[in-house]
Structure 1
């Protein structure tokens, strides 16, 4: 998955290689000038004003004139975000689609969905007051200044000093905003994340700039990092203190869950329809797994077959080194099978994920679309050292399981998708990439690669693909169950183990994630919409021979809600179809 879960946004103009030490907070009047007569002016003003409201988004996507910026999470700052988004939605809707060109009408609907999705998390779900994960996603991660060599080290170090100086105020705002009692899984997430940031600011972040030959700048960094680290550790300690009163009250409820998928992804179907689609996909994958296991481990139970697949570990239990070997193989297969265009020669790096961001087993951090010569980094998480030795060993994936994680994150998953997005003819396609589009494509790519002949029918490889498919099926059904049907976290954990054959460590992690990331059904939801769109589009475009043309056209949109892509490619009403 991409590091930012909710919606990533990217830069409007070429990234600058100089950093400002601060970014002034915009005034309310500065955000009230959205024009209503010219669509392109409206769109560009929306983007610039959003960057002012959320400068960390701008930095993450390559607008380094916003370096050091962090959002204003005070009550006034949160209200400014909500007012801006409501105003943008209302004004965008005044543009008559019938009077706009096809591309502009598409972008109008795209923009409205992006703004509505952000507004859902901000106010309807009320995540700034309920969910520590909102802040982790909203800008606390300083990795952009360290991992991306967009400027020389002193320039990036000065930018990070500016960022670190804002952390004590941000931590105070977070503590003031978060309501208690809080769900236990939220407490666990927040404690790990905030303490992880605290360790990182004075640990690995400091080491990253150790070669900067400026005693004065080093002194500035140390002073800012120590204060920021203390603020994060104090926040983590405060959250740890809430453990005794923690609840299990994490559910959005059925109505709000339905609004979530409608507002964020334009999927407006009854929950029963949604659930039935997920159950059917899980059953299909379970039957395929039984058939593959009959070849790979004749006579063995499915759990024993999965254990056999996962026992074939990377050499030295090092998934990072194994993934570095897998990526060239996958690239060569994509080229040979000719299933999708690889637009350039860019390569992804593979590293161990930093300690503050290990809530998921793997993710990719791509550069902003206007940053040049900066690699994407595919991060793989080690097991939690607090787990038992058995759980730690189980968490390290087998080679075939890891192969499809590499498909998902790199080739032809997220990495390739973002290379296409960066070349999208749509400005909005380059700037906003939705959760279901990105995760749906990456998950779809896993099954598509198997269908295209990766490892030529090898049952162990197929089991690796199905393990990943079932993981996402259980995410899909857990999201609905946890948030709409009263499922407990323990019931979710059991489903991951018993129905989707996941190891205990992963099952614990994934059942917890479902409580604070209710939209993680988007992996399977997106995949199902893409598969159905492929079936319907290729029916009149060459069948199996039309896959490459379908994939290239699909990816050319950048990252909009998939129902909008369906409407653009097939016509019709643009309703979600599974």
Structure 2
């Protein structure tokens, strides 16, 4: 149970810290890497008490997509594995129902009911369709029976969560826990007021760059209308087809500019995201280090059908906005990061790629690619990059505001719309996400630490970017201050922006 997991993590930390004798620098790095991973997991289990407060704790861990999207075995074998998983779902649903304390914030209610309800639809819909070609009537009958029970359990759980009134607050960690979260997970001990100032400075930097780009691209228009103009250039055949066209071009750009090494020959597929995982507009699912020959899938979410038609239309990204989402998710963002981490010398580097490292790197690459010449100075392309940067600026400031300064969801939504020029649907999603994902400041926080490390390590020499990128990615995914200390030969990890 949960207490056993807490005890295991506490013992892991104590045992690792007991190794304090004659150790090489590499061994000390591995020990500290493991300690941070365990401390980060322990924070959410114990300090933040997510199993009793936050449905997001369960939604990610219940994901059955591996049985459907990854051909690690023949369909019949994977179908049997899915049945084994689904047989356990009713008990898990009952435990989740018992664990979640009420009342929950309204954003948690919506997230939980959508996530659990999405599982129910998936079990009897996409999952069943995926195994339709398995010619085994007995297995198909067993699947139908088990999937129906699992779906009923998840529908019941979704209905239970949806029936709760939902409070207008109750998500905030508070300043002390928020600071502890950053320290345990990311080795960042920067005071919150200073962190907020850093975020506001970067927001203004990107807003100023947007004004300059819009003056060329949409002279005489307001910034909001300039962003709408960029967003209105939508792919005629949808974002999935457009992303499939973008990926080969992005990979070719990386090779032409010699920006980073590309280990292996793997490619990423692009698909529409499954119904239980549409709370974010895009994400990528990547096989682990011990899975061979399996595809990575870059998922793009359709609009929420409950929104009005205009909000749904606005949610579909413009081509240049989507371009930098493709940079972020695939080339040279997450996909390339994991091509490197899956080949890391460190076992912990292979197994544990941290939130700030992964999202910081992926977000860092967006501006890096623009600076390297992606788009050849085209202002519309620059606006696409800045749209993504501003989205992350508002995540950063919303995380601090929602969890330490009494910011409301409505105020966060307003921030996304008015300061970061996001459309209604994205602003709504992102403000809600900040309540149940307090670490979503990691995109900008990680990016800024990586940019500063690049400046210091290369001493401003652009010809050393490839060497920097390869060295940075070789560590796998530990807290960025640990990578900084190793690369800069500093005595101890320190967050530097």
**Normalising by structure 2, what TM-score?**
0.99
Partner of 1:472: 392
Deviations 1:96-147 (A, max 9, x none): 1x5112211101000000000000000100000000000012x211000000
Q: How does 1:183-332 map to 2 (within 5 A)?
A: 183-242=105-164, 244-316=165-237, 318-332=238-252
Q: Pick from 64, 86, 103: which aligns with 1:181?
A: 103
2:56 corresponds to which residue?
133
Q: Determine the C-alpha separation between the residues in 2 that align with 1:564 and 1:136.
A: 30
Deviation per CA, 1:370-404: give whole Å up to 9, x if none.
11111100000000011111101110000000000
Alpha-carbon contact 1:181-1:247 (below 8 Å) kept: no
Q: What are structure 2's unaligned runs of at least 5 residues? A: none
CA offsets 1:150-179 (integer angstroms, 9 cap, x no match)? 000011111111000010110010000000
Structure 1 position 247, deviation (Å): 3.6
Aligned mates of 1:363, 1:400 — CA distance in 2? 17
Structure 1: segments with no counterpart, 5+ residues: 1-76
- What SS class does the counterpart of residue 351 from structure 1 fall into? strand
Partner Cα separation in structure 1 for residue 25 and residue 133 of structure 2: 52
Selected match of 2:467 from 535, 539, 549: 549
* Match in the other structure for 2:46: 123
How far apart are 1:246 and its partner, in Å? 3.0
Q: Distance between the aligned counterparts of 2:337 and 2:162, measured in 1?
A: 39
* Root-mean-square deviation over aligned CA pairs: 0.8
User: Counterparts of 1:226 and 1:390 in 2: how far apart (Å)?
Assistant: 36
Choose which of 94, 104, 107 in structure 1 pairs with 2:30.
107
CA contact (8 A) 1:187 1:246 kept: no
- Helix, strand or coil: the match of 2:18? coil
Give deviations 1:242-298, integer Å, cap 9, x for gaps.
Answer: 1x2534211111111111101111101100111111111100000000000011011
In 1, the alpha carbon distance for the partners of 2:131 and 2:437 equals 33
Separation in 1, partners of 2:208, 2:166: 43
Identify the residue that residue 495 of structure 2 maps to in structure 1. 576
C-alpha distance after superposition, 1:197-219 (max 9, x if no partner)? 01100111011001111111111
Give SS of 1:355's match. Answer: coil
**Counterpart mapping for 1:444-459 below 5 A:** 444-459=364-379
Equivalent residue in structure 1 for 2:9, among 85, 96, 102: 85
2:324 pairs with 384, 389, 404, which one? 404
Shift of 1:362: 0.1
- SS class of match (2:290): coil
Query: What is aligned with 2:356?
Result: 436
2:339 is the counterpart of 1:419 = yes
Deviations 1:276-332 (A, max 9, x none): 11111100000000000011011111001001100111113x000000000001001
1:94 aligned to 2:18? Answer: yes
| Aligned match of 2:477 | 559
User: 2: distance between equivalents of 1:89 and 1:346?
Assistant: 36
Contact 2:107 2:166 in 1 (8 A): no
What CA distance in whole angstroms lies between the structure 2 residues aligned with 1:508 and 1:240? 18
Tell me the distance in 2 between the aligned counterparts of 1:164 and 1:323: 33
Q: Which residue of 2 aligns with 1:335?
A: 255
Alpha-carbon distance in structure 1 between the residues aligned to 2:313 and 2:143: 38
5 Å matches for 1:342-361?
342-361=262-281
Scaled by the length of structure 1, the TM-score of the pair is 0.85
Report SS of the residue matched to 1:140: coil
CA distance in structure 2 between the aligned counterparts of 1:210 and 1:235, rounded to whole angstroms: 27
What residue is the counterpart of 2:439 in the other structure? 519
Q: Deviations over 1:505-526 (max 9, x none)?
A: 0000000000000000000000
TM-superposition CA deviations, 1:475-496 (whole Å, max 9, x none):
0000000000000000000000
Q: Which moved more, 1:181-190 or 1:244-253?
A: 244-253
- Structure 2 SS opposite 1:377: strand
Determine helix, strand or coil for the equivalent of 2:299.
strand
CA deviation vs aligned residue, 1:438-488 (integer Å, no higher than 9, x gap): 000000000000000001100000000000000000000000000000000
For residue 292 of structure 2, the aligned residue among 372, 380, 390 is 372
The whole-number CA distance in structure 1 between the counterparts of 2:288 and 2:457 is 31
Match of 1:45 in 2: none
Aligned match of 1:6: none
Q: Does residue 419 of structure 2 align to residue 496 of structure 1?
A: no
